[in-house]
Amino acid sequence: MKGPEHPCIIVDTNVVLVSGGQHPDVTSGCVAECVLRLQLIMTDQVVVLDDGFEIVNEYLNKTDPKRQKTAGDVFALWVVRNWKNPKHCALVKLERGSDGEYSSLPQHPGLAGFDAADKKFIAVAAAHPAHPPILQATDSKWLDWAEPLRQCGVEVNFICPEDIERFHRKKFGE
């Protein structure tokens, strides 16, 4: 397993779900890569979260950390246990404008129609001083948003490129 490319990382919930076997259409290689990445993050990186715990709550709503049966469950519990530990987690204050949108959300025409549920990850990346990358596994819509996000200073690391491209072709017929 290679070391982290960036000391801080934002983990999209689908990485947690894939590592827990909650996405039946992914390859075993993708599951293994998600598990390895979460293990690496827990030992060598800092997970960046929002101070309103929107990301943590999403992890908890999609996992069962008390059971700790999957890598995703273990990761969610690790985040809950370590959110106050700056060696493992960093909290970013997210503010909302009068329109209800996150103030740190980048403005770019290529981001029109971005999923409301995913905006918190982008807002956290944009608000954190190091602009950490967002780790993404299988949400194929992010492929269309990767370049506009990059132009706004937000990087997306796709850890299952073959799977996500296959899902994108199936979903959008390309």
**Which structural domain, as residue segments, surrounds residue 70?**
8-172
Question: Cβ distance 7 to 46 under 8 Å?
Answer: yes
Whether 12 is in a domain gets the answer yes
> Looking at the domain assignment, is residue 108 inside a domain?
yes
Q: Considering the domain boundaries, does residue 132 fall inside one?
A: yes
State the pLDDT at residue 3: 46
Over the stretch 40-87, which tens digit does the pLDDT of each residue have?
A: 999 999 999 999 999 999 999 999 888 878 999 999 999 999 999 999
For the cut 90, the answer to whether the pLDDT of residue 150 exceeds it is: yes
Contact 67, 73 (CB under 8 A): yes
Instruction: Specify the pTM.
Output: 0.91
Per-residue confidence (pLDDT) for residue 1, from 0 to 100: 41
Q: Is 2 a member of any domain?
A: no
Give the number of domains in the chain.
1
Residue 53 lies in a domain: yes
> Which two three-digit tokens encode residue 26?
């992914």
Q: Decide if 1 is inside a domain.
A: no
Encode pLDDT of 131-142 as tens digits: 999 999 999 889
Say if 3 falls within a structural domain.
no
Instruction: State the CATH number of the domain containing residue 95.
Output: 3.40.50
Predicted confidence (pLDDT) per residue in 78-129, tens digit: 999 999 999 999 999 999 999 988 999 988 887 887 788 899 999 999 999 9
The owner of tokens 């049966």 is 69
